[in-house]
């Protein structure tokens, strides 16, 4: 599987952050879907569960936070890799129950495009190794 065969679902309730992350990943060759909240992301999952390889999600969203979203998606797709993004530091971010997903990494906001690309690339390589 190459980057161009990897589908990333990017979820953030901040429109600017959503657009920046989506553009950074698209310009790196990933197939990108976007959602402005957890509910929309779950609708995409229902339509394309087998084709979502990596979830990039903000942690602090309502009514479905990023950790809850990732846990729900991982139940449908156990091989899902998750990149959490948040303005909170690591420990604060995971008071939202980051322990519900096994295959995850974390990027702190504000994030650079390069750091996001690196973390998604790491997740992609980990998914390939698991196959």
Q: What would the pLDDT profile of 14-52 be if each residue is shown by its tens digit?
A: 999 999 999 999 999 999 999 999 999 999 988 875 689
> What's the confidence (pLDDT) of residue 131?
52
Domain that holds residue 90: 3-130
Specify the number of domains making up the chain.
1
pLDDT higher than threshold 80 for residue 96: no
Separation CA 130–CA 58 (nearest Å) = 25
Separation CA 83–CA 97 (nearest Å) = 14
Q: What percent of the chain has pLDDT over 90?
A: 48
> What's the confidence (pLDDT) of residue 95?
53
> What's the confidence (pLDDT) of residue 5?
83
Least confident range from 11-20, 41-50, 60-69, 89-98: namely 89-98
75 against 29, higher pLDDT:
29
> What's the confidence (pLDDT) of residue 62?
87
Give the CATH number, domain containing residue 119: 3.40.50.2300
> What's the confidence (pLDDT) of residue 101?
61
Separation CA 7–CA 50 (nearest Å) = 10
Q: What percent of the chain has pLDDT over 70?
A: 81
Residue 26's CB is within 10 A of a number of other CB atoms, namely: 14
Give the CB-side neighbour count of residue 125, counting CA atoms within 13 A: 7
**Closest to 124 (Cα-Cα) out of 49, 71, 116:** 116
Residue 54's CB is within 10 A of a number of other CB atoms, namely: 24
- Mapped onto helix, strand or coil, the DSSP state of residue 100 is helix
Mean pLDDT of 71-77: 88
User: 58: which DSSP letter?
Assistant: E
Separation CA 111–CA 96 (nearest Å) = 20
- The overall average pLDDT reported for the chain is 84
Separation CA 22–CA 90 (nearest Å) = 22
């Amino acid at each position: 599987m190459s980057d161009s065969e990897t589908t990333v679902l990017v979820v953030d309730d901040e429109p600017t952050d959503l657009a920046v992350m989506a553009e950074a990943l698209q310009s790196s060759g990933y197939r990108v879907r976007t959602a402005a909240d957890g509910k929309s992301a779950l609708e995409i999952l229902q339509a394309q569960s087998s084709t979502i390889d990596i979830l990039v999600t903000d942690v602090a969203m309502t009514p479905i936070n990023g950790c809850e979203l990732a846990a729900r998606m991982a139940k449908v797709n156990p091989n899902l890799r998750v990149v959490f993004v948040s303005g909170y530091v690591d420990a604060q971010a995971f008071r939202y129950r980051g322990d519900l997903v096994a295959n995850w990494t974390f990027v702190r906001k504000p994030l650079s495009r390069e750091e996001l690309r690196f973390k998604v690339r790491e997740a992609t390589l980990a998914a390939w190794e698991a196959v």
